[in-house]
Structures are given as C-alpha cells and as structure tokens.
Structure 1
Amino acid sequence: MLTDIERKILRIIGNYSAMKPKPPSIDVICVKTGRSREGVMTVLEVLAREEYIEWQRAEPDNIEVITSWERKGR
C-alpha cells in the first residue's frame, strides 16, 4: 500500500505523462508537491522498487510509468 506522498507523486507523473510527450522533471515534481529534491528522489526509489515506475537515481529526469494507479492488495 502506498503512502499519501507516494500516491501523490505517482499521480503527478501519470497525469503529466498523459498530457505531455515526456515525464515531469524532478524540479517540476518538487514544485507540485512542495517537497525537497532529496525527498522526491526517496519516493521515486520506493515507486521504482515497488515497480510502479522505471527510474534510476543516476538519471533522475528519466522516469517511465509502468502503472499509474495504486494496485489493490499490496
């Protein structure tokens, strides 16, 4: 089960990616959530580990959505 901030960032990435040809940058996510860059990077690591997104810290602005909504029963 995702926390509120994990769910919020996943929705931001999913909605942004649906509207634009590329995913949002880390800076855009920081502005939309009011979180620090390090805080956003930590949440992205969790989302990648849970296989909601494909993302690596080495390429922070390269985010690929696998599932843009929370799965039930996790």
Structure 2
Amino acid sequence: MLSDIERKVLRVISNYSAGRRRTPTVDELCVKTGRNRGGIMTVLEVLAKEEYIEWQRSEPDKIDVLEAWERKGPGR
C-alpha cells in the first residue's frame, strides 16, 4: 500500500504524461508536490521498488510509468 505522498507523485506523473506526452522532471515534481528534491528522489525509489515506475537514480528525469493507479489490496 502506498503512502499519501507516493500515491500523489504517481498520480502527478500519470496525469502529467497523459496531458503532455512526457513525464515530468524531478524539478517539476518538486513544484507540483511542494516537496524538496531529496524527498521526491526517495518517493521515486519506492515507486520503482514497488514496480509502479521504471526509474534509476543515475537518470533522475527518465521515468517510465508501468502502472498508473495504486493496486487494490486484499479484501478491497
């Protein structure tokens, strides 16, 4: 289950890419979420680990969305 900020960043990435045909940069995510760069990098690491996005810290602005919505947990 994703935290609120992880869910928010995933939705921002998904909506941004649907509207602009590209994913947002880390700096754009900072502006849209009000978080600092370190916080966004941590969130992106979690989303990549959970396989919602494909992302590597070495190329921070290259984000590929694998799953745009949070998965439903058991019993939902």
What's the TM-score, normalizing by structure 1?
0.97
Q: Which has the higher contact order (CA 8 A, sep 6+)?
A: 1
Provide the rounded CA distance (Å) in 2 between the counterparts of 1:57 and 1:30: 16
Supply the RMSD in Å over aligned alpha carbons.
Answer: 0.9
Query: Which runs of 4 or more aligned residues in structure 1 lie more than 2 Å from their structure 2 counterparts after TM superposition?
Result: none
Map Cα deviations across residues 9-50 of structure 1 (whole Å, 9 max, x no partner): 000000001011210000000001110000000000000000
Question: 1:11 matched to which residue of 2?
Answer: 11
The amino acid across from 1:51 in the alignment is E
Unpaired runs of 5+ in structure 1?
none
What's the TM-score, normalizing by structure 2?
0.94
Aligned residues: 74
